[in-house]
Chains A and B, each alone.
Chain A
Amino acid sequence: MSDEKSLEKWTPSLVSKEDLYDALEKAFDYRGDITITLKNDTKIVGYVFNRESKVAEPFAELYPADRDEKIKVYYKDIAGLVFSGVDTAAGKSWAVWLEKQKAKEAGQPH
């Protein structure tokens, strides 16, 4: 089981360009939805499945939670983001399963 702490509910502070780039890297790695607020106050909730930070106009790609299409959001348009969705990779430990198995084999309720 990974010891990494979940980023669920995290709201990164985007003071510098590096903050933004780091937050989007973490958003790409996160297995839950992210809420992105654009500089025009539009909010997008979706799953960040890609990001490209080494091109002239860095962007992230998302599947919005409310429609079936891929959308591209440019880093320069982002005002803020929140790790708003449930982290689907967290809390499903092998250890818990093994304990259940052991309890079952021992005939105990679990």
Chain B
Amino acid sequence: MAVPFKQMWTVASYVLGKKLRGVRRYPLVLMLEPLMRCNLACAGCGKIQYPGHVLRKNLTPEQCFQAVEECGAPMVSIPGGEPLMHPDIVQIVEGLVKRKKYIYLCTNAILLEEKLHEFTPSTYLTFSVHMDGPKKEHDIAVCKDGVYDVAVSAIKAAVKGGFRVTTNTTLFDGADAKHYEQFFDDMMALGVEGMMLSPGYSYQKAPDQEHFLQRQKTQKLFTELLKNRKKSWKFNLSPLFLEFLQGHVDFECTPWGNPTYNIFGWQKPCYLLQEGYVQTFKELMESTEWDKYGRKSGNEKCKDCMVHCGYEPTAVDDTFGSLGGFVRTAKAAMAHGL
């Protein structure tokens, strides 16, 4: 099982509580971006193209805690930029652990080994290491040679230090499924708890616009990737989300599932689309015209998107929101010996 039972129980009881109270829209994971700067400039990333004075800004720990309290989601993902470059990242993590939030600190791992001793292992803290595939593919995706080896070394150190570690892989058009079988074996051999996968999203500002996946290509690639799925491969994803990526079930996007807070405020409407900002979570939930997003809306920007931040919340809602969903999840999980 890739996710500890205690965490699953927390998420399940949170979702069931919302369902019982008749709350239709609720957040599952807060995407907390405490800074925009990064020590890499990956071609697939549209997050770091800002003037220098913007890149130098940081959310304070107090702003982070305020956002977490406002949002109320049981899980907090900390992307960026590169969160380990934030001067107060240890204080932020400690504050979130104290609040019993399950944290996924997303890092390229360049600074991880150096900073590891500043963190304390906890059930609530997972280092989610960006690994976009085997050595060659990864170093091309991050536009810098040698990063794969640095990340592998950091993963080993973190696992040895007793930390929870997952990998986070974005797949782009042209990915060769055969190479990824060995990659999954290699990652599991490092001792990671599980692997996260997601198709890339075409950020308008990302320099690489040609290599993002369209819906049918996504389904074909993930079917190919998972057709020889080994029991040793643990995915840190809902079983139904994996079914969705292969085209076995159809879901609609839940754009409010992973709300984003960063130096500009609460981002409208989702982690991927940047259409404006409001200053409170309540305002985000109440003022966003949610019907304008998702595939059914006909919004061109949503047409081909199958990214985890919109569809994983749908899969989780389906799992815990109905008996049918729970049975579907159990079947999918048992089919792969999870």
Q: What is A's interface to B at a CB cutoff of 8 Å?
A: 1-2, 28, 31-33, 47, 49-52, 61, 63, 65-66, 68, 85-86, 88-89, 92-94, 97-98, 101
> Are B51 and A85 interface neighbours, CB within 8 A?
yes
Residues in B whose Cβ lies below 8 Å from that of A86: 51
**Chain B contact surface mostly:** loop
B277 within 8 A of A: yes
**Out of A31, A33, A93, A98, which one reaches B49, CB within 8 Å?**
A31
Residues in B whose Cβ lies below 8 Å from that of A88: 49-51
Binds A, one of B103-111, B207-215, B251-259, B304-312: B207-215
Q: What is B's interface to A at a CB cutoff of 8 Å?
A: 41, 43, 46, 49-51, 53-54, 57, 140, 143, 204-205, 207-211, 263-265, 276-277
* Cα distance A65–B41 in the bound complex, in angstroms: 22
> Are A94 and B50 interface neighbours, CB within 8 A?
no
Residues in B whose Cβ lies below 8 Å from that of A89: 46, 49, 205, 207
> Are A97 and B51 interface neighbours, CB within 8 A?
no
Q: A50-B265, A92-B49 are in contact. List 20 more A-B contacts (CB 8 A).
A: A2-B205, A2-B207, A31-B49, A31-B50, A31-B51, A32-B51, A33-B51, A49-B54, A50-B276, A86-B51, A89-B46, A89-B49, A89-B205, A89-B207, A92-B41, A93-B207, A93-B208, A94-B43, A94-B210, A97-B43
Residues in A whose Cβ lies below 8 Å from that of B41: 92
**Out of A1, A2, A52, A98, which one reaches B276, CB within 8 Å?**
A52
6 A-B pairs closest in CB distance: A94-B208, A89-B49, A88-B49, A94-B43, A49-B264, A89-B205
A-B contact pairs, 30 of them (CB 8 A): A1-B207, A2-B204, A2-B205, A2-B207, A2-B209, A31-B49, A31-B205, A47-B50, A47-B51, A49-B54, A49-B264, A50-B276, A52-B276, A65-B51, A86-B51, A88-B50, A88-B51, A89-B46, A89-B205, A89-B207, A92-B43, A93-B207, A93-B208, A94-B207, A94-B208, A94-B210, A94-B211, A97-B43, A98-B140, A101-B140
